[in-house]
Structure 1
């Protein structure tokens, strides 16, 4: 039976509610990682919930979303207080709600109903302004972050023309958001952020003391990152081949994925597992329990798994 991290442990949370974020699964995932890691590589870092909580001598967090990585690099090289001042300026300039200072009743809203009715027109004005920006300065990144905070489910989504296109959400930049941002910014100094296609990451520089984690978009689930053919069968096959090559070099890896969801089965992943019986597959759930891989299909809910070669 694998050891488990205590549920009382405090994890550093990403300031972004990135689709597929692993914060809630960290108590299951991290105990399955190697105990000693020299260089940790997260090929699809997303919101960076995993990378910022891993204990390693050197950490690479990579993602093909250039805007995301630019934002993280900005946070890494910026003082929180200076960024907070920029955030406050954006909120004030676009007349967005600030319940941390004024409460909900000031805006004719309550916590249950949310702030979308008040913020909608102000949010759309900010979104239009952001999509017209050409210079990526501190003001740009403050607007980028506030767009995400005030957007539906605090998520990131761009259309095919590169324009941010989510509608307004129910919440604003509250005290909890501020605390998450400050803690995250103070915890990423040792992370190197890169934006490459996973196939372009130079894994040849890695040694047997290093560790690669892959959390790609899930082929059989519907999410914003799968729009516009963002992840397809060819990508899935290329990633699995890459992991096999790492295994041949005796490099350790872990893969997060979904075997089945809502009646669909990831046949590519299932076939790959059958061809590699030495790989271990752990089913994950929100009861914080782990179990070894069994050939039992779980139809009614997503069968999210962690696959390792060690």
Structure 2
């Protein structure tokens, strides 16, 4: 395995956001299915970026994105202006309290993209369970978490992430646009969409106002199949259920055992089956 080490921090890069469905704890199960060398890495559902950071030392460049512009904005500032971002996070850490949290949460119309990036990281580090969720107006609406001393500003973590992101193009785009890209056989595409619900009570399939419907899952399966038919290396994770298995029949289906990290009931945060779809 090839790893990347930040010369600025001495740390291997890892996610700086806690994200629903984050893959940090699953990388050991994913490793047998990951390439050892990549020209360009594509990830259109970026989230916490665990797979990107894990593979950063194996790729020449990356194209990272998400349909959520606020998440894309955060990654751009971590890449391009991490020291300025750290100054804002230090201020958030100094002023943190229950009242301050809800004051910041109400700041829906900040004009400065740097302030918006710092706000998202601050809320992510202090909200309930690290959950990112938006209402239909696109406003963050998660209550404060019960943390005694949240680590809001982590210079070593953010500088290591910034170093890894120097090789990445980061922008807002949807997964369908990959069909118009000229990918080579040495590129690698990883899809980590909002998971299809496996029961009526597991309906959290999106973290933003945009949602991800059954039709979206079918459109994604079409993109995956089209890229695979072109001989390109693709991998996808999703919930292990009949609907997803039917969508990807004919591909390599690998069951994955994952911990359910985000659930409103602590007693239901156990192990859950997920599915890894690979080609070739």
Contiguous gaps of at least 5 residues in structure 2:
4-10, 260-269
- Cα shift at 1:17: 0.5
8 A contact 2:45–2:65 mirrored in 1: yes
State yes or no: 1:123 paired with 2:101. Answer: yes
8 A contact 1:58–1:190 mirrored in 2: yes
- Cα shift at 1:227: 7.2
- Cα shift at 1:15: 1.0
8 A contact 2:42–2:62 mirrored in 1: yes
Determine which structure has the larger strand proportion and give its number: 2
- Cα shift at 1:176: 8.5
Evaluate the alpha carbon distance shift between residue 122 and residue 225 of structure 1 in structure 2; reply closer, same or farther with a 3 A threshold: same
8 A contact 2:74–2:118 mirrored in 1: no
Which residue of 2 is the match for residue 86 of structure 1? 88
Q: Secondary structure at the match of 1:165?
A: coil
- Cα shift at 1:121: 1.8
**Matches of 1:71 and 1:27 in 2, distance apart?**
27
Evaluate the alpha carbon distance shift between residue 202 and residue 136 of structure 1 in structure 2; reply closer, same or farther with a 3 A threshold: farther
- Cα shift at 1:248: 1.4
Which residue of 2 is the match for residue 219 of structure 1? 196
Which residue of 2 is the match for residue 252 of structure 1? 233
Give 2:213's match in structure 1, choosing from 212, 227, 232: 232
**Matches of 2:13 and 2:180 in 1, distance apart?**
27
Q: Deviations over 1:240-287 (max 9, x none)?
A: 11111112111111111112xxxxx342x222343x2xx211122259
Q: Secondary structure at the match of 2:104?
A: helix
8 A contact 1:157–1:224 mirrored in 2: no
8 A contact 1:37–1:57 mirrored in 2: yes
**Matches of 2:181 and 2:109 in 1, distance apart?**
40
TM-score (norm 2): 0.81
**Matches of 1:69 and 1:211 in 2, distance apart?**
20
- Cα shift at 1:224: 5.9
Q: Secondary structure at the match of 2:203?
A: coil
8 A contact 1:146–1:173 mirrored in 2: no
8 A contact 1:16–1:155 mirrored in 2: no
**Matches of 1:232 and 1:78 in 2, distance apart?**
35
Count of residues paired in the alignment: 255
Contiguous gaps of at least 5 residues in structure 1:
97-118, 260-264, 288-299
Q: Secondary structure at the match of 2:50?
A: coil
**Matches of 2:236 and 2:135 in 1, distance apart?**
28
State yes or no: 1:168 paired with 2:144. Answer: yes
Q: Tell me the C-alpha RMSD between the 2 structures.
A: 2.6
State yes or no: 1:70 paired with 2:42. Answer: no
8 A contact 2:188–2:232 mirrored in 1: yes
- Cα shift at 1:83: 2.4
Q: Secondary structure at the match of 2:231?
A: coil
8 A contact 1:211–1:253 mirrored in 2: yes
8 A contact 2:12–2:160 mirrored in 1: no
Residues 156-195 of structure 1 correspond to what in structure 2 (within 5 A)?
156-171=132-147, 172-174=149-151, 177-195=154-172
